[in-house]
Amino acid sequence: MRPLEEVGAALGLTPQDLQFWGPGRAKIPLESLNRPLRGRVVLLTAMSPSPAGIGKTTVAIALTDALRRREVSAAVCLREPSLGPVFGIKGGGTGGGRSQLVPSESINLHFTGDSHAVTAAHNLLSAALDNHLHFGNSLALDPRRLTWPRVQDLSDRSLRRVVIGLGGPGGGMPREDRFDITAASEIMAVLSLARDREDLRTRLGRIVVGRTAERASVQARDLQVDGAMAALLEEALRPNLVQTREGNPALVHTGPFANLAHGTSSILATRAALQGADFVVQEAGFGADLGGEKFVDIFCPLAGIQPCCAVVLLTLQGLRYHGGVPRERLAEPDPEAVRRGLPNALYHLDLVTRFGVPVVPALNQHDSDPAEEISLVLDALAAEGYLAARVRAFQEGGAGTVELADRVLEASKSCALNRFSPFQKPGMTCEERLETLVRQVYGGDGFELSPRAREDLADCARDGADRLPICVARTPLSLSEDPTAVGVPRGFRIHVREIRLLAGAGFLVPVCGELMTMPGLPRRPNFELFD
């Protein structure tokens, strides 16, 4: 690793601007984030992923290194890994091969304690809620309408539904509860979207924990706990600086889930990078229809930014999956399946173009990829007017991603900020936003609200929150709510089971299909490989 003072200097940060947190890790105090923004954002998104993943984090790191090889000032903004996926299926969230963040072990595990701080702040509110019920419930909360769960940053399916308060009068009020994983906490989304300490405190105070029998909302500030929660998050609010294996700046901060929340690193991390770099590569979770749309419709307006171009990442395994190949055969050559999967990639490329952003397709290559299938993809994209870049990020790092860097630099020249066009417009109702996303972003035929969702929407209207932006929760594996509907499904409708009000984060979450907020561990968890 390079001395972190040198890495920070590349962003215009002095040693006094860095608060070191062990070797290779530092926090940036908010007082150091007061310079004008000079850079432009490159959104890194993808086609609909396969269960094998796409490699966005690895390519985001490699693209930053490649831009630096072209003597362009660049930095990357990524989410913090969650211990649940690290010890479960994913094994890590810091890239791979020659395109990794360092020190990767520290980042993947405790890092700078941000996730632990979110866990503590969340569970403090949970404890305050049950303590209020125990001591008389002066706010008249209806125990049947409590919405605030508990969290931990590990996958544990046995905690998805629990009964608490057993043991008699001294044990609290018996009731059903649940645990979510910390990355799914509304507080993680709040931390990601807060612009300063005051904004953090305000957002924490707005969090809705439940409702009265008359369906009036009760918020965290009613429990007088928002100040203590903000104190717990004081250090976690500061962005984290680390570096890539090639010694270039990486801002890694917050980790909201992309299927439940907006799925990007924090506003403060992005602004820290933009004040010192000409290009900032920002990864958004999953495909352009999910993470990409949320980046454009939720993150960009709050952050006050607009992307100058977007990279849409493809893999042959992803194309085979959306061409109908089952998971266990994704590594096997199948040109016809690749051909059948191409419409999914083209759909996402067209979608990003409709965001009003220049688009660059990138084929993330594995060593086993057949030359025949690579040529098939490049030729098919060229026939549609797309000049794709070949990427060997895992194998070669920045050196294998220079072609993509050149395409990005060229595409950014054609960026016209006045063409940038989010789909969700201010003042739209929740139903208008849903109709727009389902028809224009997912390609469906409309939506249906369950009786529970209609009740939820009526509650939001009582709170004056029915015109907030929406952050749809659904499977990332399909454009529809059905994870088995690969490719470009048509004629489907989205069924909204419930609508959650995340008043602190500032958006509504229409839940479509089954929503997993507490993962389970697989038969052979990755923690067996740790020592």
Please state, in angstroms and rounded to a whole number, the distance separating the CA atoms of residues 198 and 223: 18
Q: What residue spans define the domains of the chain? A: 4-110+241-416, 114-232, 430-512
Query: What local confidence, expressed as pLDDT, does residue 172 receive?
Result: 87
Name the CA dihedral angle for 16, 271, 504, 186, rounded to a multiple of 10 degrees: -80
> Position 515: which residue type?
L
Query: What local confidence, expressed as pLDDT, does residue 401 receive?
Result: 98
494-502 sheet: strands from edge to edge: 447-449, 494-502, 507-512
* Tens digits of residue pLDDT in 18-67: 999 989 999 999 999 999 999 999 999 999 999 888 999 999 999 999 99
Query: What is the CATH class of 430-512?
Result: alpha beta
Spatial CA neighbour of 473 closest among 331, 241, 285, 273 = 285
DSSP line for 262-318 = --S--HHHHHHHHTT-SEEEEE-SS-IIIIIHHIIIIIHHHHT--EEEEEEEE-HHH
What the block records as the tokens of 429 is 């109702």
What the block records as the tokens of 320 is 């085979």
Coil, strand or helix at 145: strand
Please state, in angstroms and rounded to a whole number, the distance separating the CA atoms of residues 181 and 172: 24
Running along the chain, 531 residues long, what does each successive block of 10 average in pLDDT? 96 96 95 95 96 94 98 98 90 93 96 97 98 96 96 95 92 92 96 98 98 97 98 98 98 92 96 97 95 96 96 98 95 96 98 96 96 97 97 97 98 86 95 97 96 96 96 94 95 96 96 87 90 88
Please state, in angstroms and rounded to a whole number, the distance separating the CA atoms of residues 336 and 322: 11
> Which CATH number is associated with domain 114-232?
3.30.1510.10
CA–CA distances in Å: residue 447 to residues 241, 259, 483, 492: 42, 18, 17, 9
> Position 156: which residue type?
D
Query: What local confidence, expressed as pLDDT, does residue 52 receive?
Result: 86
Query: What local confidence, expressed as pLDDT, does residue 169 receive?
Result: 86
CA–CA distances in Å: residue 457 to residues 368, 412, 431, 452, 509: 50, 40, 9, 9, 11
The distance of Cα 488 from the centroid of its chain, to the nearest Å, equals 23
Right CATH for 4-110+241-416 from 3.40.50.150, 3.40.50.300, 1.20.1260.10, 1.10.287.610:
3.40.50.300
Query: What local confidence, expressed as pLDDT, does residue 414 receive?
Result: 87
* Tens digits of residue pLDDT in 283-331: 998 999 999 999 999 999 999 999 999 999 999 999 999 999 999 999 9
Residue indicated by tokens 């500030």: 221
Query: What local confidence, expressed as pLDDT, does residue 140 receive?
Result: 97
Q: 0.85 cut: is pTM over it? A: yes
Please state, in angstroms and rounded to a whole number, the distance separating the CA atoms of residues 309 and 318: 22
